[in-house]
Amino acid sequence: MNLGPHAAFIIAAYAVALAVVISLIAWVLADHAAQRRLLADLEARGVSRRSDKAEAA
């Protein structure tokens, strides 16, 4: 495919868009893993929310 004399601008635009989209996906996944880890850690130490106790009862 011939992108013409301004190919560098087109490729740069798509490259930046791809980088930003991948960063957003990575951020959301990493944040989810971190929150799950913190919750598991707190639960392992015996901490639970009042609503969890009510649901368990």
Give the residues lining the site for another protein (CB under 8 A).
1-7, 9-10, 12-14, 16-17, 20-21, 23-25, 27-29, 31-32, 35-36, 38-39, 42, 45, 47-49, 51
Q: How far is the CB of 23 from another protein (least distance, A)?
A: 8
Q: How far is the CB of 38 from another protein (least distance, A)?
A: 5
Q: How far is the CB of 1 from another protein (least distance, A)?
A: 7
Per-residue 3-state assignment (H helix, E strand, C coil) for the chain: CCCHHHHHHHHHHHHHHHHHHHHHHHHHHHHHHHHHHHHHHHHHCCCCCHHHHHHHC
